[in-house]
Chains A and B, each alone.
Chain A
Amino acid sequence: MTAENARFTFSIDDRSLALLLDEALYPLDAIYGAAYLFVDRCYIFLDRPADKQVQVRFRTKSDSTEQDLEALAGEFANELLNQVLRLRISESTKSIREYTLARAFFGDSSQASIDALLAELDAEELADDPLEINVPWESGT
């Protein structure tokens, strides 16, 4: 199932934790999304030590032991992977979602979102996919 593992290197110090992330693996939106979920427990600061590298620094709001900080690193890393997955799903389903929401709220989808959906389907070569999507407007609805 898992062809490769994700490795996270982090350093810990008194109430603080720092992780270095490669932006090619972890898009900024995923880093924001994951970091943001910790603002209740931590102060968070992002820095860019080198091109395409993002350092995420946490300082816990209350006292924390080394184990707490290790657990925090694990939680953040896990959340980051989840955020990447969420991002992939929402990017891939963007046009489907625009279509369904437009149709739900405005009665009909706009031509623009149909075009976008068709373009996406083309791009993903789903025309050749046995799991082809049921495109409703083709049947004249």
Chain B
Amino acid sequence: MKSHTIELPRPQVAADQLGFFRFGDIAGRVLLTNDAGEWHFLGREDFAALVAGTLPAEHPERPTLLAKGFLRSELDLDALSERIRRKKSFLGNGPHLHVVITTLRCNQDCRYCHASRTDMDQVQTDMSLETAKKVVDLAMQSTSNYVAFEYQGGEPTVNMDVIKFCVEYSREKNRYEGKTLDHSVVTNFTYMTEEHAEWLLANDVLVCTSLDGPEELHNYNRTWRSGSDAYGSVREWMAYFNRRWIELGRDPHLWHVDALTTLTRRSLEQWKDIVDLYVGLGIRSVHLRPLNPFGFASKTWDQIGYSTDEYLAMYEEALDYIIDLNKAGTTIIEGTAAVLLKKMLTPDDPNYVDIRSPVGSGTGQVAYNYDGTILPSDEGRMIHAMGDPMFVLGQVGSTSYSEIVGHPTVKSMAVASLLDSLPGCSSCWNAPYCGVRPLHNYRQTGDLFAQRPNTPKCAEHMTIARLLFERLAEDTTGEVEAIFRRWTVQRPRVRDED
């Protein structure tokens, strides 16, 4: 047993001169953040002077520190409250995202798809029109002025009748409700027909597809049962929709097929090809999300999975490549970065249900299974499909809107994701921008809480936020910040003639 001693400077603290903030070491400086999402970098010595109350009155950073609420003198509490209110305005909204599982049937058999699909002959997993009506009746009761219906499956277009019904019936109901409605379908395109496509186009339904990367990678990940070319089909239909929207006079910046990529082990090696493909196709956003690690047989995971560290190493390289593309004049956004940057660089919150505090499960989004079972999210549906009823919130037709948002499970998830009260998070510099996933925790550990430093989502969000702050800290010309600011701009997608 060896004995050692270390000595560290003990900070002097004049706490009565400070506003509330959290802090952390980033890029060799100290980053301060607060409840309104404000942030500021200080050199270590300036930080020590700030907390010791010895920052000179004429210090050049002082006015900014004051304006952002890091200093107590002349702190305008009402203005700060107002900024916090705006940041957290989603809290008063109610669920806006309503995920409708029109069927579990799917004609693909993707390597990473588990427990959420059935074969094409399993017609009993189609949602009935009667159930769909109850879904719309319930979703339209949301207190949110904005309601987005997202049709998923299985392959949702296999049950096109339900999509058509939901779109038409919700619009009919909305003549009295006056909400802003969006409809989007997440399709693999393998069941698309010209008739369906024209209906979707004529009815302003947004289309999002899965595009995992270049042909070989996409077809490897997404086995199409009939042995046909999944990749070719996606490319063909993307081109079709994009061409038709232009013909219909829509702004292609707003009306184009969005694509999502699912990253497998192979994708990690080919991240650059994926980004290049997206750029080549004119897709303006690529969301490099890690594969959800839970629910796989270990053999499958060994084949397609990877560690959080491997993912994050890829992410850093890809982020820098994407920034460089933007510097060279190409607009391409990385999805997770865009969510975090909106929190960092604007007074608003993007209300992205998976990265907010508290989490959106049940309060920002609701999922409706094909049989009308109500769940707090698609991940809740996975857990339900694996035989665990923990997250069932009720049944359309018999459960009221207030019973959903007030459900004890929804409340527990909110408590388990309120960063201000979670150990580790409550004092973390990233708390204003982060969000934890109680359902993820539950799958990983059997507990909605979970030990934060051991959760992959903490490592992911902390590293990505750190990378973004590092890039901002190193940005002497303002070029990167200008690019990042562009990533936060979302224009409303209204019909051009409206």
Complex: A in contact with B (CB within 8 Å):
yes
A residues contacting B by CB (< 8 A) are 1-13, 32-33, 36-41, 66, 70, 73-74, 77-78, 81-86, 88-93, 96-97, 99-101, 103-105, 124, 126, 129-136, 141
- A6 & B75 in contact (Cβ 8 Å cutoff): no
Q: How far is it, in angstroms, between the C-alpha of A89 and the C-alpha of B13 when the chains are bound?
A: 9
Shortest B46–chain A CB gap in Å is: 11
Give the chain A neighbours of B291 by CB distance below 8 A.
Answer: none
Known: A5-B8, A10-B3, A133-B77. 20 other contacts (CB 8 A): A1-B45, A1-B54, A2-B11, A6-B8, A11-B1, A11-B4, A33-B423, A33-B424, A37-B453, A89-B18, A93-B19, A96-B19, A100-B80, A100-B81, A101-B84, A103-B85, A104-B85, A104-B88, A134-B75, A134-B76
Chain B residues closer than 8 Å to A90, beta-carbon distance? 20, 427
A9-B5, A10-B3 as given contacts; A104 in contact with B81, CB under 8 Å: yes
Q: Is there contact, CB below 8 Å, between B4 and A6? A: no
On chain A, the residues within 8 Å of B54 by CB distance are 1
Asked if B20 and A89 make an inter-chain contact with CB atoms under 8 angstroms apart, the answer reads: yes
CB distance from A116 to the nearest CB of B (A): 13
Residue of A nearest to B52 (CB): A1
Q: How far is the CB of A132 from chain B (nearest CB, A)?
A: 7
Mark contacts of B1-43 with chain A using CB atoms, 8 A cut-off: 1 yes-contact digit, 0 otherwise.
Answer: 1111111111111011111111100000000000100000000
The 8 Å CB contact of B75, one of A9, A73, A96, A104, is A96
Per the CB 8 Å criterion, the residue count for chain B at the interface is 51
> B75–A133 contact, CB under 8 A?
yes
Q: Contact residues of B with A, CB < 8 Å?
A: 1-13, 15-23, 35, 45, 48-49, 51-52, 54, 71-78, 80-82, 84-85, 88, 91, 423-424, 427, 451-454
> Which residues on A sit within 8 Å (CB–CB) of B2?
11-13, 66
CB-based contact B5/A133 at 8 Å: no
A71 to B8, CA, bound (A): 13
Instruction: Give bound CA distance, A5 to B265, whole Å.
Output: 49
23 contacts between A and B (CB under 8 A): A1-B12, A1-B45, A2-B11, A2-B48, A5-B10, A6-B10, A9-B5, A10-B5, A10-B6, A11-B1, A33-B427, A36-B452, A38-B453, A78-B8, A81-B8, A81-B10, A89-B15, A92-B15, A96-B19, A101-B35, A103-B77, A134-B74, A134-B77
Minimum CB–CB distance from B48 to chain A (whole Å) comes to 5
Give chain A nearest CB distance to B94 CB in angstroms. Answer: 15
Across the interface, B77 reaches (CB within 8 A) one of A32, A132, A136, namely A136
Q: A100-B84, A104-B88 are in contact. Are A8 and B74 (CB under 8 A)?
A: no
Residue in chain B with minimal CB distance to A85: B11
**How far apart sit A82 and B15, CA to CA, in the bound complex (Å)?**
13
Chain A residues whose CB sits within 8 angstroms of the CB of B71 once the complex forms: 131
Given contacts A37-B424, A96-B20, A100-B35, contact A105 B10 (CB under 8 A): no
Kindly state the separation between the CA atoms of A1 and B13 in the bound complex, as whole angstroms: 10
**How far, in angstroms, from A26 to B352 measured CA to CA in the complex?**
38
In whole Å, how far is A60's beta carbon from the nearest beta carbon of chain B? 14
**Nearest chain-B residue to A2 (Cβ)?**
B9
Instruction: Give the contacting residue for B16; candidates A92, A104, A130; CB below 8 A.
Output: A92
Cβ distance B121 to chain A, nearest Cβ, rounded Å = 46
Q: Which 10 A-B pairs have the closest CB atoms?
A: A131-B73, A92-B15, A2-B9, A93-B20, A103-B81, A104-B84, A40-B453, A104-B85, A6-B10, A5-B7
* Contact among A7, A100, A104 with B7 in the assembled complex (CB-CB below 8 Å): A7
How many angstroms between the C-alpha atoms of A57 and B442 in the bound complex?
29
Q: Are B74 and A86 in contact (CB under 8 A)?
A: no
Name the residue of chain B whose CB is nearest to the CB of A32.
Answer: B423
**B84's closest neighbor in chain A, by CB?**
A104
Inter-chain contacts of B85 with A (CB < 8 A): 103-105
| Residues of the B chain whose Cβ atoms lie less than 8 Å from the Cβ of A131 | 17, 71-74
Which residue, of B35, B81, B85, B451, has the highest number of chain A Cβ atoms within 10 A? B81
User: Which residue of B is nearest A70, CB measured?
Assistant: B4
Alpha-carbon gap, A13 to B77, bound state (A): 51
For the complex, what is the distance from the CA of A2 to the CA of B7, rounded to whole Å? 12
